[in-house]
């Protein structure tokens, strides 16, 4: 099975202003359902804003990725990784510490 994670991440890094799933699809040719699943699973991807192009009935999420600095320390243990994920998913709780 082909993993689209690197391809989707590379596309988003190329467009710092963000892309919708449809735009990522046109760049990578990956199926839109796969793109949505990849985006949801990427810890460094987030919805920056919602876009309604002209007369479209529906709004689309515009996705961006965090580009970590080169000197960013990486967690070394699974426990640290899990704690970092919890901290990122609950930012209001980390500010109270």
What is the C-alpha to C-alpha distance for residues 52 and 69, in angstroms, rounded to an integer? 32
User: Per-residue confidence of the chain (97 residues) as pLDDT tens digits?
Assistant: 468 889 999 999 999 999 999 999 999 998 888 999 999 999 899 999 998 876 667 888 999 998 878 887 776 788 888 888 888 887 665 445 4
Q: What local confidence, expressed as pLDDT, does residue 94 receive?
A: 47
The per-residue pLDDT for 89 is: 83
pTM of the model: 0.66
The DSSP line for the chain is ----HHHHHHHHHH-TT-B-HHHHHHHH---HHHHHHHHHH-TTEEEEEEE--TT-SS-EEEEEE----TTPPPP-SHHHHHHHHHHHH-HHHHHH-
Map out the domains of the chain with their CATH numbers.
5-70 (1.10.10.10)
């Amino acid at each position: 099975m082909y993993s689209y994670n690197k391809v989707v991440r590379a596309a988003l890094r190329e467009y710092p202003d963000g892309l919708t799933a449809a735009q990522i699809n046109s760049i990578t040719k990956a199926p839109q359902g796969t793109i949505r699943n990849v985006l949801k699973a990427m810890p460094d991807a987030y919805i920056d804003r919602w876009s309604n192009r002209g007369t479209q009935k529906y709004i689309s999420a515009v996705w961006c990725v965090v580009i970590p600095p080169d000197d960013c320390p990486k967690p070394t243990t699974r426990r640290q990784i899990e704690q970092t994920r919890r901290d990122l998913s609950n930012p209001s709780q980390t500010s109270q510490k």
